[in-house]
Amino acid sequence: MQVRIIGITHVPEVHLGADLAGLILSACESGDTPLVEGDVLVVTQKIVSKAEGALVDLDTVTPSPFAEQWAVRWGKDPRQIEVVLRESVRIVRMDKGIIISETRHGFVCANAGVDASNVPGEHIVGLLPEDPDASAARIRERVRDATGLDVPVIISDSFGRAWRNGIINIAVGVSGLAPLKDFRGQRDTHGYMMSATVIAVADEIASAAELVMGKLENCPVAIVRGYPYDRAEGSAREIVIDPARDMFR
Amino acid sequence: MQVRIIGITHVPEVHLGADLAGLILSACESGDTPLVEGDVLVVTQKIVSKAEGALVDLDTVTPSPFAEQWAVRWGKDPRQIEVVLRESVRIVRMDKGIIISETRHGFVCANAGVDASNVPGEHIVGLLPEDPDASAARIRERVRDATGLDVPVIISDSFGRAWRNGIINIAVGVSGLAPLKDFRGQRDTHGYMMSATVIAVADEIASAAELVMGKLENCPVAIVRGYPYDRAEGSAREIVIDPARDMFR
């Protein structure tokens, strides 16, 4: 079995209101890799946020006293801290200059997903899309309208992890595939019953896509070709752990 | 740019003392996908542990009173809990029937990586290899001896995560590549300086490999072809977070 991860590099600079699906389809054609049945599209959060205007001009932000004192203490921009707090519904950890919080989507990540890199203009920071599942669904629908293909879409972002250095790509938005693959109760090749095997395939697909997306290159989209995903409406919220089961609140 | 993930399915059942590199090379040949320069080999922990005898027969284990009471309380096998405790240097969380602990390697994971699935014989559980970096280095060396190719090797295992459902493949052993790619201080395509971007590429490669390895099929090895990794000796310990920076101890 073989899966191919194809980087799509011909996507132009994305502006507010851009037709992302259209830009992506043109870029796939320009790169001589038109979409085919069975493909999964992985789209980085950055261009989704730009197209949707999920950006904040720090010059318009008045920091609260709480944001101000934290910023002063740790040498941060108080306006940026203010944006992080506004994007957070709950602080999980706040120490050593780092804020790890829960976003309104239920994601736990550093800085509530607020991203100071890769946005042109020094005072603009990027936010997570308002509803990344809906963003994914819109791209999927537009691709279906244009091509007749029902291609699942994953919106990816890079998150840090507890206990491990470095960030990895994960799925913040999903449409068209089951983000979790459940093997519980199935038997493996040795007849052994698997008790606790649910695989977060949407996260693994997002990580695989990062291998071609890189960080310095202009490659905001990847095609994952040949992966036998389970078709479903899907939602990145399925990957968010139930608070009752969360041992790291 | 394109990366291919190729599943290697012709690996026979692995027994104690098996020449893993030899079995893998034969399997690559049988599958008409001989290794080429630039490939990365991902090998699942399960077959490494089998080859190295990192297995415990539960019939030989006498549970401590602590293991016994926890097992009774949560309906677990006390001998298996005993093995988990023996594989742990520190318990991180112990609640709701779940033990999350730190292994001697520094990994934080459920059940200290002790694996009751996929080992033939009902009373045998698999442990993490004693030194997965060394396991990776041995396979790499044998492959180099046999083929003249210096192919990096990643030993993978599937770990759960804080805050997110499902397990994903990560790197527990690394030889021949830099597991972390550091973009700090580099400028992206918009000239923006990146402040906190270190990508755990070894984990992303392991996750990508899982897409072809599956769980029910006999596919314990994958080739990742076409990824421009940074050559280095490498070690999975580089991915383990420094206790001084760990916000989730």
With CB atoms and an 8 Å threshold, state whether A192 touches B248: no
Cα angle B160, B164, B169; round to 5: 40
The predicted structure's pLDDT at residue A41:
98
The predicted structure's pLDDT at residue A217:
67
Instruction: Tell me which long-range contacts B239-243 makes (C-beta under 8 A, separation of at least 24).
Output: B239/A164, B239/A165, B239/A166, B239/B170, B239/B171, B239/B174, B239/B179, B239/B180, B239/B200, B239/B202, B239/B203, B240/A163, B240/A164, B240/A165, B240/B105, B240/B106, B240/B107, B241/A163, B241/A164, B241/A165
- DSSP per residue, B152-171: -EEEEEEE--SSB-SBEEEE
- Express as a percent the part of chain A with pLDDT over 70: 92
Record the pTM.
Answer: 0.95
Question: What confidence category does residue B120 fall into, taking pLDDT thresholds of 50, 70 and 90?
Answer: low
CB-side neighbour CA atoms (13 Å) of B165: 21
Question: What confidence category does residue B177 fall into, taking pLDDT thresholds of 50, 70 and 90?
Answer: very high
Contacts of A2 in chain B (CB under 8 A): 4-7, 212
Contacts of B189 in chain A (CB under 8 A): 118, 216-218
Domains along the sequence of chain B with CATH: 4-54+129-245 (3.30.1330.100), 56-125 (3.90.1660.10)
Q: Are the beta carbons of B190 and B168 closer than 8 angstroms? A: no
Tell whether the model's pLDDT for residue A19 goes beyond 60. Answer: yes
pLDDT tens per residue, range A112-171: 999 876 555 568 899 999 999 999 999 999 999 999 999 999 999 999 999 999 999 999
Mean pLDDT of B60-72: 97
With CB atoms and an 8 Å threshold, state whether A210 touches B199: yes
Mean pLDDT of B13-28: 96
Length of chain A: 249
Burial bucket for residue A222 (CB in 10 Å: 0-12, 13-18, 19+)? buried
Mean pLDDT of chain A: 93
The predicted structure's pLDDT at residue B116:
78
The predicted structure's pLDDT at residue A115:
87
Question: What confidence category does residue A216 fall into, taking pLDDT thresholds of 50, 70 and 90?
Answer: low
- In b/e form, how buried is each residue of A13-43, taking b as 16+ CB within 10 angstroms? ebeeebebbebbbebbeebebebeeebbbbb
Mean pLDDT of chain B: 93
Tell whether the model's pLDDT for residue A249 goes beyond 90. Answer: no
pLDDT tens per residue, range B185-225: 776 666 666 656 899 999 999 999 999 997 666 899 999 99
Tell whether the model's pLDDT for residue A194 goes beyond 90. Answer: no
The complex's ipTM? 0.95
With CB atoms and an 8 Å threshold, state whether B188 touches A117: yes
Question: What confidence category does residue B155 fall into, taking pLDDT thresholds of 50, 70 and 90?
Answer: very high
- Express as a percent the part of chain B with pLDDT over 90: 84
The predicted structure's pLDDT at residue A124:
87
With CB atoms and an 8 Å threshold, state whether A4 touches B2: yes
Contacts of B114 in chain A (CB under 8 A): none
**Least confidently predicted of A4-18, A202-216, B112-126, B129-143:** B112-126
Q: Where are the alpha helices (DSSP H) in chain A?
A: 20-30, 45-52, 65-74, 78-86, 132-147, 201-213
Q: Are the beta carbons of B165 and A240 closer than 8 angstroms? A: yes
User: Can you tell me which residue has the tokens 């027994």?
Assistant: B15
Measured between CA atoms, the residue of chain A closest to residue B13 is: A190
DSSP class of residue A236 equals G
CA nearest to A66, candidates A82, A87, A83: A82
Say which residues have a Cβ less than 8 Å from residue A180's Cβ, sequence separation at least 6.
A198, A199, A200, A201, A202, A238, A239, B165, B166
Contacts of B194 in chain A (CB under 8 A): 117-118, 215
pLDDT tens per residue, range A30-55: 989 999 999 999 999 999 999 999 99
How many angstroms separate the CA atoms of B86 and B103, rounded?
9
Burial bucket for residue A122 (CB in 10 Å: 0-12, 13-18, 19+)? exposed
The predicted structure's pLDDT at residue B197:
85
The predicted structure's pLDDT at residue B183:
83
What distances in angstroms separate CA B186 from CA A226, B54, B198, one per listed residue?
Answer: 34, 42, 11
The predicted structure's pLDDT at residue B234:
98
With CB atoms and an 8 Å threshold, state whether A2 touches B204: no
Q: Are the beta carbons of B41 and B152 closer than 8 angstroms? A: yes
- In b/e form, how buried is each residue of B108-144, taking b as 16+ CB within 10 angstroms? bbbbbbbbbbbbeeeeebbbbbeebbebbbbbbebbe
How many Å lie between the alpha carbon of A248 and the closest alpha carbon of chain B? 6
The predicted structure's pLDDT at residue B1:
87
With CB atoms and an 8 Å threshold, state whether A166 touches B9: no
Say which residues have a Cβ less than 8 Å from residue A138's Cβ, sequence separation at least 6.
A20, A21
